[in-house]
Amino acid sequence: MDNEKPDLKDGRILLVEDDFVNGKIISRLLEMDNIPTDWVKNGKEAIDFYLKNKDSVLMVFMDLQMPIVDGYKATVGLRENGFMRPIVAMTANAFSNDNIKSKEAGMNDFLLKPVSKMDLFMMIEKWVNIDKK
């Protein structure tokens, strides 16, 4: 990872995470580095947030197992509503087929929890400025 921070301009990261501790840690890591972040607790809230903020969501970190609407269905809903930017799956299930299922749902990449600061920033660097490379 180079020293150049991702250029978010007027955009933000959408964190979709139902676990309070994980959500607090991840959102805090991003905000401590001045990365604008909005945190919602389930897939329905993610779709609703996107529909109200279409131009500002640059990337989504998506938990897979959540109540109401899980990460797979939320991803399908976001894609059906025109979200074409990166969605990165997050799960603690290292030995499952979540990676395959997340790709099939339309996610671009995959992170295992617990997520480190380095992993988060590498994903942001990899995907947010992809159009500039």
Long-range contacts for 35-41 (Cβ within 8 Å, ≥24 apart)? 35/6, 35/8, 35/124, 36/8, 36/11, 36/12, 37/12, 37/13, 38/12, 38/13, 38/14, 39/15, 40/14, 40/15, 40/16, 41/16, 41/17, 41/66
pLDDT for the residue numbered 133:
43
> Is 74 inside a domain boundary?
yes
Q: Domains in the chain: how many in total?
A: 1
Q: What CATH number is attached to the domain comprising 50?
A: 3.40.50.2300
> Is 4 inside a domain boundary?
no
Q: How many CB atoms lie within 10 A of CB 112?
A: 15
> Is 2 inside a domain boundary?
no
> Is 6 inside a domain boundary?
no
pLDDT for the residue numbered 18:
95
What backbone torsions phi and psi does residue 57 show, to the nearest 5 degrees?
Answer: -85, 115
Per-residue pLDDT of the chain (133 residues; tens, 9 = 90+): 444 455 566 789 999 999 999 999 999 999 988 889 999 999 999 999 999 999 999 999 999 999 999 999 999 999 999 999 999 999 887 667 888 899 999 999 999 988 999 999 999 999 986 554 4
pLDDT for the residue numbered 130:
57
> Is 25 inside a domain boundary?
yes
Show the domain range for 89.
Answer: 12-132
pLDDT for the residue numbered 1:
41
